[in-house]
């Protein structure tokens, strides 16, 4: 019986570390995009590398937890929901890494006039992702606050969508910021990439809503 409780403690610790890493990655992502907009390239690169390290750590933790859950036959009733949560929340950190790598490779030229809009988009997306991590913690720790966090995630995802559309309208509505269509399409792609972070959060929260209902006695 003691072994059973030790296994539970270990998995609890691993899940907490995994969520901590994702939370850290979201904060670093937020800062890195702002560094990029301010042309602070060295700091941007350093932050991108940090996110990469965190993403690798999360992948290892996720694989370890999955192995433990199956090999020790833990959580037979909610194992599917738990693994689904871990797989989908992994998309959040994958997106942070992917966006930063694409910024580094493609180096999109963002007009200074749009910096404020981009910052607003990053903030809304990061808030949605942050509340997603909080909702996931509430699910694991069986807290009533889960619905509150899920609602906030949905709210910020919607906000991110609004900012995304606003930037696209500015881009395609006139030639004041970018003149060529290729440049407009290029920036539009990055707007979508940043907004994808909030979409990933929404996806996790939709699964969490169902899992929470299923978990009643």
Partner 1 sequence: MALILIFLSSGLFLGWSLGANDAANIFGTAVGTKMLRFGTAAIVGSIFVIIGAVVSGAGASHTLGKLGAVNAIAGSFTVAFSAAFTVFWMTKMKLPVSTSQAVVGAIIGWNLFSGKPTDATALTKIVTTWVVCPVLSAIFSFILFFIIKKILKHTRISIIRMDSYTRAALLITGAFGAYSLGANNIANVMGVFIPVSPFPDIHIAGFFSLSSVQILFLLGALAIAVGIFTYSKRVMMTVGNSIFKLSPIAAFIVVLSSSLVLFLFASTALQTWLLSHHLPTWPLVPVSSSQAVVGAILGIGLAKSGRNIDFSVIGKIGMGWVATPLVSGALSFVFLSIMQNLFMQPVFI
- Inter-CA distances, 106 with 102, 150, 168, 172, Å: 6, 34, 19, 20
Kindly state the smallest distance separating residue 217's Cβ from partner 1, in Å: 5
Out of 39, 42, 71, 73, name the contact with partner 1 by CB under 8 A: 73
Nearer to partner 1, 58 or 136 (CB): 136
Residue 42 binds to partner 1 (criterion: CB under 8 A): no
Q: Residue 75 has which token pair? A: 């959580």
How far, rounded to the nearest angstrom, does the alpha carbon of residue 72 sit from its chain's CA centroid?
29
Q: Decide if 139 contacts 206 (C-beta within 8 A).
A: no
Residue 136 binds to partner 1 (criterion: CB under 8 A): no
Nearest-angstrom CA–CA distance, 201 and 151: 11
Residue 83 binds to partner 1 (criterion: CB under 8 A): no
Segment lying near partner 1 (by CB under 8 A), choices 4-12, 22-30, 123-131, 201-209: 4-12
Nearest-angstrom CA–CA distance, 169 and 188: 10
Segment lying near partner 1 (by CB under 8 A), choices 24-32, 73-81, 98-106, 112-120: 73-81
Nearest-angstrom CA–CA distance, 62 and 153: 23
Out of 39, 42, 71, 77, name the contact with partner 1 by CB under 8 A: 77
Residue 11 binds to partner 1 (criterion: CB under 8 A): yes
């Amino acid at each position: 019986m003691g072994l059973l409780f030790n296994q539970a403690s270990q998995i609890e610790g691993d899940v907490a570390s995994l969520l901590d890493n994702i939370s850290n990655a979201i904060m670093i992502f937020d800062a890195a995009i702002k560094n990029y907009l301010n042309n602070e390239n060295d700091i941007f690169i350093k932050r991108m590398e940090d996110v990469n390290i965190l993403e690798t750590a999360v992948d290892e933790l996720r694989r370890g937890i999955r192995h433990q859950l199956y090999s020790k036959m833990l959580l037979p009733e909610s194992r599917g929901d738990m693994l689904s949560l871990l797989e989908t929340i992994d998309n959040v950190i994958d997106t942070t890494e992917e966006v930063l790598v694409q910024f580094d490779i493609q180096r999109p030229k963002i007009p200074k006039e749009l910096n404020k809009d981009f910052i607003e988009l990053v903030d809304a997306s990061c808030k949605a992702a942050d509340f997603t991590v909080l909702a996931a913690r509430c699910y694991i720790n069986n807290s009533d606050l889960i619905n509150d966090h899920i609602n906030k995630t949905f709210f910020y995802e919607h906000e991110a969508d609004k900012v995304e559309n606003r930037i696209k309208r500015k881009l395609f509505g006139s030639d004041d910021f970018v003149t060529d269509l290729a440049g407009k399409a290029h920036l539009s792609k990055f707007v979508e990439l940043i907004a994808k972070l909030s979409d990933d959060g929404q996806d996790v929260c939709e699964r969490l809503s169902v899992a929470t209902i299923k978990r009643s006695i």
